[in-house]
Structure 1
């Protein structure tokens, strides 16, 4: 029986297997074997073999000649890449053309820029690479070139089949390759779209290909422009009972529709075949810079080649170059032209144009006339586009942002600026109005209005336009320019008329807040000054006889050393954390004197804010904004003074210049700074608490507001970085201001009542608690509490700082105990005893 079952099972198995084999054979007829698949895989390749040119670019093709000849065939955009373009470097700049509202992004703003290069690939393909400039070598014919190339592979961002070759007139030689670039632009290729950071910031998620397309592609002699519409899904906002901070912006369109759509414009611009000569960067002159590491065959170490970013200005011919050398002004071969966005309100256009044209005088110092100008956009010219990277444009954004900015697009190989799109936000006018009113209304009656007349606002706009254009010329902020003007000269009408209140429009020295009503000063605006003219001369002088970069560098060095004999021509970096000469929004060579004058004017302005902001039928929002601006200005004065404490002057020097690069701020100035703070801030500034104003804008009477300002300044004064600097500098020379002196000076000022047995009011009690709390915190520094100085991380617990704080608290405790014993004011006694208890508790061993 068992044998029969076994035989039966075998028969069933055989029958089942036979059926499976039959089915498999049927499937095999439909599905090729592995060998067949491999064989068939070659067939599509065979189909992709280039076809005759006329079969690809047929009679239906719509062709545009330009940098890249573009053929539209059906819905495809075919690029004809000439052999002469292969290997050439092309700058791509992608900008928003239209944006969804509410995301803080605006049409005309740059998204990204990259350099790309077309290369011949394998099997009839064209590669598109993204080029990054990190390391270079000038020795192209030396062995080290191979090592540099091995260490700097550039990513391939696209591989495109060659659909056809274009032949020369003889029909024998290929002179161009036709490729389909449609997939590069109707997709989400990062080079021509938003990067991951952009998307995170805007809460953008997946690309929607079915809702995205190419609008048009236009080609011109030196550039090709691609306009696309791209749609993305958005990240749904999370609902939570305990919301957490979220990076990004929930675009209103995304919340409504679940997707957002935007238009982008990408410009392809051929970088110059003949690169501009680089101009070596100099820390003594404030230019933006670019650079890369350079490996040379004969060098013993890698050098960093850093060069200034600037426009290319050259004579039209040798005759003009000779004239310029003799001191005559000449026109450049190609002037710098900025167009005004036609969306700019008509009444502001002349002022913005004048702000651009104001730079002509500076270029004359470099030997050029008519080197720069503003022009109105020709609206009816179909060959021009606002997004076209051939044109520099001041773009006007309908936005509530109170700002403007001036970027530039430059050749990363040389620093040559190719174009700039200045961003101008509509609400910059609101910011200008607040600045000018708060800083100058004490001396300028025009500023005492809720709305400025067009002439005044136009002049304010002109100043901002000139500042932003300065950035697009390559100039950085010169935060040290205002320090070149003595404080008392800020009150001198003749000096101000001739020189202005700062030597550079690139400073953040907005308006002359030092001038007093009795001075008669009427020149209150920044303007292009002595430094700006010198900086343009440094960056744009043409050296006819300099044979190379090194020769130019030597000439420029001599010019710079000579210029540094004039303090008004110095550059002061915007990045120095400890030099009090380099600050934003400050004026004059002494922050204490300048701030004292500024406070006198604020005291004059505050009682008038209600009158100057009123409008029947409106609430007090305007008054609230102006009061906040006024207190903000006061805070800035405290910051300007504070930076002197623990300050170190840093003046860029070279071996062939006299003097040291670093100098400690004199002890007398640091003492003066602390005395100012004790008098103007820690002695309660009751004038800020104008109850006629406060009762209209907030429920509280200012106790916590004053405490907040005092807390901020105390925290800054006793910050670890500042205390470490004081330790370092006082250890070099006992005459230098020290940590112990700082704490003692503050203690005497903040606790002045304990010497006179005077009652201590709520403002001073708050301040004294803050001071004790900060000393306790300093004394109890944890190992994780670190400061930085000179590029080193310093553990505060391992320094003298906690010891000094402990000593100060011990002395203070004894003074407080004695004062509490004789005090007759009930709250004062409670307060003093409480401080004694806090100090004792802090000093108990854990």
Structure 2
């Protein structure tokens, strides 16, 4: 008979009473398990709707009813389970009122299980999103390989440390065991005597799972800097289910902060301040619902496939100390699903078990077809390697009893959060022994749609130099998390930008079916990307450079080939320049890299031939259409090809085109007619989007200057792995930045338009922080210029320009650092030295340049190059002479004279200051 769910709701008490209860449980030791990969779930597929276990009265154990417990020991099995209901499953559960017991047979002790936690209900903000795998936003709480250990009358749930291994029974295995520790997740006393027949025992499941098992209290404390702690008295198990492959417990965990901290007035700006959740009726109390699944590892491990740096897969790593001849013990395997042909001899065969994606019932009806197309689009790559219908899509029905958070198949869910956070995300969990993907849950965020374009514009408008540096993709020293993904969020912004551009040109009605087709294409593009992650693929930021601008402008070419070499790219929407026809806007087909990567990961290969065949496949990496570069290549700020939001073989042509589109959109706002039903925020939105996209284009240009292509080739490819950007490209990029960003006639708007850029007065606090009523385009452009100067005048760019001179065959043709410094100076100071008046915005930019020059002279960093310091000093000396000459000419206002005198004095003081320098 079907399982009857028993929802256990805590006894209602007043808020003041529950705050007095406290109920803070001590937190067990957290962490453990593989350090580089999630734990996983069994390979069993998602059962059909009739998958529930059965609930029944406790069976009478022969001879057990009247058995007396041992003196001082636990009660008999039948005594504990009297009047309780049994939930059949991988590990049976027993439920009586609020009490839940877990049944463990002797063969269950000491055996590995996967404990897979997911957040079924969250807060809708700060990474606490209902429907996500736990552990995506913090380093603890991930899925674990656990085992139950009995020590006398105590049973421990221990997270196994399987990161470090050696051959079982070997001396090395003994050394590994003594070197590394497991972690205790929880423990409880044995609750019953052994069953007379099965010899199973019962343990208190509440003691293990109705706790702060995942450290969510720490997460809340870190996110809000409040004293949130777990409240056991008001937490409970609210759902139990099972089947032969899985045991599911759902826990409603209550967290409480008896007192709430307030921000401290007058604290330094860098001091972290307490905040409050914005989605709660009372910030002192909140519930998080945790979905725990216990499953077994696959009985037969899938053959692992080694990782290759030329092909971008997520990896599972194991430190194997059984072979000391390797250069290092760490072995890396790619993450992939187990895919085997039903008929190994057939050229095209259905798989034994397809990769099944369940669409959750909460996905809006109008988007299901686009999402389905995005999933099934990957079948084209699998067909090339002999699999028919490798991916299958199934729709969860209204009456289906299973949850898409359950284990054994991939799922896609629709998520509603308080404000835009990530767009979409595609995490997965794997078998740490082999890298086999066992479960994946894609989440789509509903607020990444075009319905909130005005809010996004207010939230996303750059309001500081730091924000502009992020848009420019300025270099930084650490890479983001390998699984971090902002593709959907970036694509949603590009969608909104395109709708504004095409509406302003009169080419698209934002409420027309054509506009809806853009939304559908966005969803298909995003689904292809996120499904790629769940197949094991990492980002590929180099793939956007394989097609020419003419090809991208061809609708038929882009319909067949897409925009980039891979759907794992962050490609901007393919916007035509004014007067051009334009190709397809989004990437809705796989690229050549995607076919190649799937071949490497999933092609059936005989074990004896695998090593040579994988080397053959990866050896094609030098082919232009298979270009690959990922997050680290982008974030370290060196490689000019591994960029986000660039497109086409010619980066300077791309940037010039996008800057023209942005300028055209800004110009069209000058005389844009507004309906009486509209407000002025549409103008602010368009200007904001145009400036952000212009900033991204400038970032593409900046990365060319001193740029060094870092290729992942192995010897024999015919290419050098380190390749400076051609000097002609660097010069062209530098001149475009100087003329369109730093020059006097750069980005600007008329005073008449500036007076119309009003705010949405009802939505000023919707982002969680106030949005200024004023909107200074001049200030935004100045912050952009400051961010550009910060990068061009940085020690890192100077070092790369100097280093590149040693990497080119003709050093005299390379972009010299002196040329870079002179070009910056001329762009910033041309109007000041020409005799005319100097506008306020130009004075601010010139002060910024002079201040940075003075800083280079007064406070050189330990890593700065001597040649760079000498050239900065020479420029400062030359500029002082020019400023004094312009001041002596006496042309212009008193403000101009004061400005020139002030900056001349600043540079003179910096030049005259005594400086202790080493290395002379």
Q: Above 0.5 in TM-score? A: yes
1:372 and 2:432 aligned = no
User: How far, CA to CA, are the matches of 1:285 and 1:631 in structure 2?
Assistant: 35
What is the alpha-carbon distance in structure 1 between the residues aligned to residue 102 and residue 562 of structure 2?
55
2:529 is paired with a residue whose SS is: helix
Deviation at 1:494, TM superposition (A): 4.7
Specify whether residues 375 and 55 from structure 1 end up closer, same or farther in structure 2 by C-alpha distance, changes over 3 A only.
Answer: same
- 2:143 aligns with one of 111, 114, 121: 114
Distance 2:436 2:72 in 1: 41
1:264-283 Cα offsets, whole Å, 9 max, x none, are 21111212121212111111
Equivalent residues of 2:277, 2:283 under 8 A apart: no
- Superposed CA deviations along residues 545-604 of structure 1, whole A, max 9, x for unmatched, are 224xxx523311111213x24211121222222111011111112221111111222233
Q: Is the 8 A contact 1:115 1:132 kept in 2?
A: no
List aligned pairs for 1:726-737, cutoff 5 A: 726-731=801-806, 734-735=811-812, 736-737=814-815
Question: Which of 854, 858, 870 is residue 776 of structure 1 equivalent to?
Answer: 854
Q: Distance in 2 between matches of 1:103 and 1:732?
A: 45
Question: 1:649 and 1:91 mapped to 2: Cα distance?
Answer: 42
Contact preservation (8 Å) 1:393, 1:421: yes
Q: 1:187 aligns with which of 193, 197, 211?
A: 211
Matches within 5 A, 1:807-826: 807-822=874-889, 824-826=891-893
Structure 1 pair 700/110, CA: closer, same or farther in 2 (3 Å)?
closer
Matched with 1:486 is 548
Tell me if 1:98 matches 2:121.
Answer: yes
Contact 1:779/1:801 (<8 A) preserved: no
Write the distance in 2 (CA, Å) between the matches of 1:491 and 1:686.
27
Q: Is the 8 A contact 2:126 2:223 kept in 1?
A: no
- Confirm or deny: 8 A CA contact 2:856 2:872 kept in the other structure: yes
Change (3 A) 1:727 1:401: same
Q: Does the CA contact (< 8 Å) of 1:613 and 1:623 recur in 2? A: no
| CA distance, structure 1, for counterparts of residue 375 and residue 251 of structure 2 | 32
Matched, 1:569 2:632: no
State how 1:397-436 maps to structure 2 within 5 Å. Answer: 397-399=415-417, 400-401=419-420, 403-430=423-450, 434-436=493-495
Aligned to 2:497: 438
Per-residue CA deviations over 1:262-302 (Å, capped at 9, x if unaligned) read 32211112121212121111111111112132212553654
Map of 1:197 onto structure 2: 219
User: In 1, Cα distance between the equivalents of 2:189 and 2:775?
Assistant: 72
How far is the alpha carbon of 1:163 from its aligned partner?
A: 4.1
**Alignment map for 1:310-329 (pairs within 5 Å):** 310-316=336-342, 320-323=343-346, 328-329=347-348
Whether the aligned pair in 2 keeps the contact of 1:613 and 1:622 (CA below 8 Å) is no
Equivalent in the alignment of 1:156:
184
CA gap 1:486/1:583 in 2 versus in 1, 3 angstroms: same
Report if the CA contact (8 A) 2:670-2:750 is conserved: no
Contact 1:500 1:526 in 2 (8 A): yes
Whole-angstrom distance in 2 between the partners of 1:637 and 1:329: 45
The whole-number CA distance in structure 1 between the counterparts of 2:238 and 2:732 is 65
Match of residue 236 from structure 1: 260
Query: What is the DSSP-based 3-state SS (H/G/I as helix, E as strand, rest coil) of the residue aligned with 2:282?
Result: helix
CA–CA distance in 2 between the matches of 1:65 and 1:511?
Answer: 51
Kindly indicate whether the alpha-carbon contact (under 8 Å) linking 2:194 and 2:200 is maintained by their aligned counterparts in 1. Answer: yes
Equivalenced residues, count = 770
- The answer as to whether partners of 1:531 and 1:570 remain within 8 angstroms in 2 is yes
Picking from 614, 618, 622, the partner of 1:560 is 618
With over 3 angstroms needed to count, the CA separation of the structure-2 counterparts of 1:102 and 1:436, relative to structure 1, is closer
CA distance in 2, matches of 1:508, 1:103: 23
1:186, 1:164 → 2: CA distance? Answer: 20
Aligned 1:264-663 pairs, distance under 5 A: 264-299=290-325, 302-316=328-342, 320-323=343-346, 328-382=347-401, 384-399=402-417, 400-401=419-420, 403-430=423-450, 434-439=493-498, 448-451=508-511, 453=513, 454-513=516-575, 515-527=576-588, 528-543=590-605, 545-547=606-608, 551-562=609-620, 564-576=621-633, 577-609=637-669, 614=674, 616-663=676-723
Given that residues 323 and 329 in structure 2 are in contact (C-alpha distance below 8 angstroms), is that contact kept between their aligned partners in structure 1?
no
Identify if the C-alpha distance between structure 1 residues 804 and 103 changes in structure 2 by more than 3 Å, giving closer, same or farther.
Answer: closer
Aligned-partner Cα distance in 2 for 1:771–1:614: 40
Does residue 751 in structure 1 map to residue 829 in structure 2?
yes
- For 1:199-214, what aligned pairs fall within 5 Å after superposition? 199-202=221-224, 203=226, 205-214=228-237
TM-fit CA distance, 1:390: 2.8
Q: 2: CA distance between counterparts of 1:844 and 1:246? A: 39
| 1:834 has 2:902 as partner | yes
1:742 & 1:388 partners in 2: Cα distance?
Answer: 58
525-534 or 642-651, larger mean C-alpha shift: 525-534
User: How far apart are residue 77 of structure 1 and its match?
Assistant: 1.9
8 Å CA contact 1:286–1:573 kept in 2: the answer is yes
Give 1:437 deviation, angstroms: 4.9
Q: Distance in 1 between matches of 2:282 and 2:559?
A: 56
Change in 2 beyond 3 A, CA 1:750/1:289: same
Extract unaligned runs of 5+ from structure 1. Answer: 1-43, 786-794
Task: Give the whole-Å Cα distance in 2 for the aligned partners of 1:615 and 1:462.
Answer: 33
Residue 523 of structure 1 and its aligned partner are, at CA, apart by 1.7
Deviation at 1:312, TM superposition (A): 1.2
Kindly indicate which of the two structures has a greater share of residues assigned to helix. 1
Residue 744 of structure 1 and its aligned partner are, at CA, apart by: 1.5
Q: Distance in 2 between matches of 1:613 and 1:78?
A: 68
**Partners of 2:149 and 2:832 in 1: CA distance:** 84
- Measure the CA separation in 2 of the matches of 1:122 and 1:329: 53
- The answer to whether the Cα contact below 8 Å between 1:340 and 1:394 also exists between their aligned partners in 2 is yes
Shift of 1:805: 0.9
Q: String of CA shifts for 1:793-844, please: whole Å, max 9, x gaps.
A: xx13564332221112112222333344346333555443333222111112
CA distance in structure 1 between the partners assigned to 2:435 and 2:863 by the alignment:
43
Instruction: Spell out, residue by residue over 1:673-706, the C-alpha distance to the aligned partner (whole angstroms, 9 max, x if none).
Output: 1111111111234554144432211557643332
Contact persistence 2:119–2:289 (CA under 8 A): yes
Greater relative contact order, per chain length (Cα 8 Å cut-off, separation 6+): 2
Q: CA offsets, 1:500-522, max 9 Å, x none?
A: 32121111113113x33444334
Tell me the residue number matched to 2:871. 804
- Relative to structure 1, the CA distance from residue 570 to residue 55 in structure 2 (aligned partners, 3 Å threshold; closer, same or farther) is same
Q: Describe the SS at the equivalent of 2:100.
A: strand
Give 1:15's aligned residue. Answer: none
- TM-superposed CA distance for 1:352, in Å, is 1.4
Q: Relative to structure 1, is the Cα distance of residues 388 and 343 closer, same or farther in structure 2, using a 3 angstrom cutoff? A: same
Residues 442 and 516 in structure 1, CA contact (< 8 A), matched pair in contact too: no
TM, length-normalised to structure 1: 0.85
- CA–CA separation in structure 1 for the residues paired with 2:71 and 2:188: 14
Q: Structure 1 residues 796, 300: CA separation in 2 closer, same or farther (over 3 Å shift)?
A: closer
| TM-score, L = length of structure 2 | 0.78
Correspondence for 1:675 among 723, 735, 749: 735
Q: Which moved more, 1:830-839 or 1:572-581?
A: 830-839
CA RMSD of aligned residues (A): 2.9
For the Cα contact (< 8 Å) 1:118–1:126, is it kept in 2?
no
Question: Using a 3 Å threshold, how does the CA distance of structure 1 residues 422 and 156 change in structure 2: closer, same or farther?
Answer: same
2:172 equivalent in structure 1? 144
Q: 1:106 to 1:197 in 2, by over 3 A?
A: closer
1:17-38 deviation line (CA, Å, top 9, x unaligned): xxxxxxxxxxxxxxxxxxxxxx
The 8 Å contact of residues 539 and 568 in structure 2, kept in 1 or not, is answered as: yes
Between structure 1 and structure 2, the one with the greater Rg is: 1
